[in-house]
Chains A and B, each alone.
Chain A
Amino acid sequence: MNRRLAHLLTRMYPGRWRERYGEEFEDFLLTGRGDVKTWIDVVRAAVSEHIHPSLSTCESGGAMSEYRTSFGTVVRQPSALIPLGMAVAALAVVLGHIALYGVAREADEGAAAHIWQLLMAAQLPALLVFGIRWLPKAPKQAMGVLALLVAAILAAMAPVYLLHL
């Protein structure tokens, strides 16, 4: 089979499949028959690979493999990292305020209080997005990440309520 046709046929497969087998498969086609029967076989297999990916059960999409959906993988998702970062930032704002101005309650809410409120409020939609996205895919891992996020939120709220800021 000529190189161009072999390349074109290989390109019909999904990206993940090509990452693993593309080079080897193209070499295989180059050194094999190039008849119409072969084209039909490859096109049919490529379509089938899109519909029922052989790599999906372990690496992507569909059933989402166990190793891809480890706690570490889920917690590194932007939808988890963003609210976590917000909770840490809110805690840092409170602690920074305490370090600079002490625990005395101020009559008027300052910039730090507004930033804290914004950070806390913005976490709710972020948490919702995370829950919708990850609970159906990896319930166990997502629950672990949600517990971590709730703990981070409580940690950010604790100084405000305990010290009556």
Chain B
Amino acid sequence: MSSTRDVVGTGDELDPGYYSDPPLLVLASLASGPKHGHAMIEDIERLCGTRLGPGALYGAIARLEQQGWIKPLPAEERRHPYRITPDGLKVLRAKLTRLHEFSKAGLKRLEAR
């Protein structure tokens, strides 16, 4: 899971840009309940400001489904919702914990300056 792909810069030095790790973003979105593609895109945008394109979204969905971390639910009016699996929740928790530790360590270094 890359966290550097699709990071969009704005030219503004103070702008942190967008966080982009599509599989992690999809898992985080599905952690609050099953969603279909458009709902995931909206939710992810609200969550971290990143708007995934259809290609990035379905690339992540395909990989996560193959890994057994998400599962499709029966289609609803041509919409295809997905849910996170227990393994997906474990992976999400582990990744977010690692990110949290990284974030804490990074901020601690900044405070020391």
**A residues whose Cβ falls under 8 Å from a Cβ of B:** 17, 20-21, 24-25, 27-29, 31-32, 37-38, 40-46, 48-49, 54-55, 57-58
Contacts and interface: CB of A to CB of B under 8 A. Distances in A.
Interface of B: 37-38, 53-56, 58-59, 61-63, 66, 75, 78-80
Contacts of B75: 24
A48 B54 CA distance: 13
B54 A43 contact: no
B53 A42 contact: yes
Contact of B54 (A41, A49, A54): A41
B58 A25 contact: yes
Interface majority SS (helix, strand, loop, mixed), chain B: helix
10 contacts: A20-B62, A24-B75, A25-B54, A25-B58, A28-B37, A28-B80, A41-B55, A43-B55, A45-B56, A46-B55
A58 B68 CA distance: 11
A27 B81 CA distance: 13
Contacts of B59: 45, 48-49, 54
Nearest to A35: B53
